[in-house]
Structure 1
Amino acid sequence: MDRGYVIGIDSGGSHTRVACVDLEGTVRGTGRGPGGSPNHNVDARRHVRDAIHQAMEAANVKPPQVVAMVSGMAGFDQEDDLKWAAGFLDLDGLGCRAHVVNDAMVAQAGAFAGEPGIVAIAGTGSMILAVAEDGEVIRNDRYRHYAGGARHLVFDLMARILIDEDTAADAVLVEEICRYWGVSDKPGLRAKARELEAADYNEAKRFYGRMAPLVTAAADSAPVAGAACDRLAHFTCVGIRLLAAHFPSPTVRVALLGGLARSPAFAGRVSVELAGVAPAGRFHVTDPALPPVAGAALLALQRAGVVVDGPVIERLAAGTSHLTT
């Protein structure tokens, strides 16, 4: 007998990913699309709904067959946000009420397969979230802390270049940045940056954010890029350490997610700084067990009463491995 399906959604600033999963943890259909954060995407609602329909059509599943849906959504921070989030998920005939959390929550659930740990996300945006051993959920913004994402790395670097903190060792990177902006020198770079003030806010953020790979790729050859990565990695480590105080155990697991966080230049700096924190061995930086969309599906399975064990996790991993990029 067909016992139903669950849907997991990971809706961030750059990408939306959806998995339709049966109650044994087998992924029956997936969908993907552009970003689904209302803070970063004008068409966020359409992006999310289109990706959901993709996944359900691929699985040949109808709304009444869905017994649990969990959506991790960037921009969802408080109860008032349910007003817009509900409109993203109100499918006709849906067999359950959708449950909405911040996208960092599904990232944490996936990274540690439902176990305690701290996830630090740095991509389009930034969030550090912990689930402690006692089940407490705590985020770095509750301490009025923000580490920064890809665009913040670029904001910092651009400012340093425009105030002439770069040196001859940075010349190749500065030339690449000028080409990215379509100019030939620093005065042109400054003028283009001022022109971008009139652009759509979300488009401007994405333009800056897309430059981040240039910075991380040059982190070990261009001092100005290395210093920018050092600063943002340090801010991230501060947020991780703030949340680590909620863990009484001697070892705390940390996972890094997002395009910036997973870059070798950034991840390496975070790992080195955390390794130097006393007592030695306090932080264990680990690869995520599952992608965030699988974390959303895991939480949906739990809401449907499924015991998520090793075989279920293996099936989720196998069915969502292509949704990690």
Structure 2
Amino acid sequence: MNKDFFLIGIDGGGSGTRVVLGDASGRELAQAASGPSGLGLGIERAWQSIEAGCREAFEVAGLTLDWSRCVLGCGLAGVNNRDWLADFRAKAPAVAALAVESDAYTTLLGAHGGAPGVIVALGTGSVAAVLDHNDACRTVSGYGYPSGDEASGAWIGLRIVVHAQQALDGRVPRDDLADALLAHIGTDDRDGLVVWLCEANQTAYARLAKIAVEQRAHPFAARLLGDAGVEVGKMIAALDPSSTLPVAMCGGLGAPLSAYVPQIYQSRLRGPLADSAHGGLQLAQREAARLAG
């Protein structure tokens, strides 16, 4: 392998991008973060966020970014849309090599160290996947906002905001949950909420999910989080009918929602060994080895 290469692992979603910079052997040099790079928010925006994160990582390491020396392993939300993926590759800078997989695959690599297992990744969006003994990956969910991504931040936010709507016009009592939602949105009247709703995207809705977790004792929030747990259980059952594989709960909502997953799965739940960005670094290592071979 060319010892002048740098390996870069990228985890790109609807809320942000995480970058892990490594040397040619995969030794970690620095980490960085930047804005969203999920492909559903735009291909140019994705590359802008990735470049910003890479530049920051190189700066932290005391180095200068040179795309021609970089092997990128990207795990991105939205690559299941083949048109977005083709556009993403077409707009890539002149890197040494580029490997692109779903964020589900890189999350699997990071969570189980490349060993067989299931992941349920819950962030702005959601996806669950299994890596079998043949290194084959299969996914469920991940169809995207607004019709899919069950149990995700956007899915929860889209539903929790209904409580604020009903509280504002008197269908349910005004309470702490409604107040917290409206304070986050920055309005206290119907017109202001309508303006926010008309402008909100998946990222904006996902930011409401933390309020559901904080207000989890509230009956509306508790019911919603319970529904999310049921959806997670359905994902696990679809991916591992044998009920034998470990299940890593990943993403910003992985740990908070673990308690709501049905009891039958609880003994198999665990935290990930590493995150999707480090899984991307493994992907970059594989791509570099393929080049060298």
TM-score range, shorter chain: 0.7 to 0.9
Q: C-alpha displacement at 1:286, in angstroms?
A: 1.1
Check 1:141–1:208 CA distance in 2 against 1; reply closer, same or farther (3 A cut).
closer
2:258 to 255, 261, 267: 267
What percentage of aligned pairs have identical amino acids?
Answer: 20
- Flag structure 1 segments of 5+ consecutive residues without an equivalent: 307-325
Q: C-alpha displacement at 1:303, in angstroms?
A: 2.9
Give the TM-score of the pair, scaled to structure 2: 0.83
Are the counterparts in 1 of residues 14 and 203 from structure 2 also a CA contact under 8 Å?
Answer: no
Q: Give a deviation string over 1:136-184, Cα, whole Å, max 9, x none.
A: 211114999742411211222233564579977x822222223333444
Structure-1 residue corresponding to 2:109: 109
Letter in 2 for 1:106: T
Are the counterparts in 1 of residues 99 and 287 from structure 2 also a CA contact under 8 Å?
Answer: no
1:172 to 172, 176, 181: 176
- State the alpha-carbon separation in 1 of the partners of residues 117 and 183 from structure 2: 41
- State the alpha-carbon separation in 2 of the partners of residues 107 and 236 from structure 1: 16
1:303 aligns with 2:287: yes
Are the counterparts in 2 of residues 85 and 100 from structure 1 also a CA contact under 8 Å?
Answer: no
Q: C-alpha displacement at 1:234, in angstroms?
A: 0.9
Are the counterparts in 2 of residues 147 and 239 from structure 1 also a CA contact under 8 Å?
Answer: no
Give the TM-score of the pair, scaled to structure 1: 0.76
1:99 aligns with 2:99: yes
Q: C-alpha displacement at 1:305, in angstroms?
A: 3.0
Check 1:179–1:81 CA distance in 2 against 1; reply closer, same or farther (3 A cut).
closer
1:232 aligns with 2:224: no
SS in 2 for 1:276: helix
Letter in 2 for 1:127: V
- State the alpha-carbon separation in 2 of the partners of residues 2 and 23 from structure 1: 5
Letter in 2 for 1:107: T
Structure-1 residue corresponding to 2:152: 149
Structure-1 residue corresponding to 2:136: 136
Runs of 4+ displaced beyond 4 Å: 142-146, 160-168
The count of corresponding residues between Structure 1 and Structure 2 is 281
- Flag structure 2 segments of 5+ consecutive residues without an equivalent: none
Check 1:31–1:89 CA distance in 2 against 1; reply closer, same or farther (3 A cut).
farther
Structure-2 residue corresponding to 1:276: 264
In angstroms, what is the RMSD of aligned CA positions?
2.9
Structure-2 residue corresponding to 1:313: none
Q: Give a deviation string over 1:15-35, Cα, whole Å, max 9, x none.
A: 112222124331123332111
Q: C-alpha displacement at 1:130, in angstroms?
A: 1.2
- State the alpha-carbon separation in 2 of the partners of residues 50 and 23 from structure 1: 21
Structure-2 residue corresponding to 1:217: 214
- State the alpha-carbon separation in 1 of the partners of residues 138 and 171 from structure 2: 38
Structure-2 residue corresponding to 1:255: 248
Q: C-alpha displacement at 1:9, in angstroms?
A: 1.0
Check 1:133–1:297 CA distance in 2 against 1; reply closer, same or farther (3 A cut).
same
SS in 2 for 1:82: helix
SS in 1 for 2:260: helix
1:292 aligns with 2:276: yes
- State the alpha-carbon separation in 1 of the partners of residues 20 and 67 from structure 2: 14
SS in 1 for 2:175: helix
Q: C-alpha displacement at 1:100, in angstroms?
A: 0.6
Letter in 2 for 1:208: Y
1:76 to 64, 76, 79: 79
Q: Give a deviation string over 1:43-77, Cα, whole Å, max 9, x none.
A: 222111222233345443643433x3211111111
Structure-2 residue corresponding to 1:159: 162
Structure-2 residue corresponding to 1:319: none
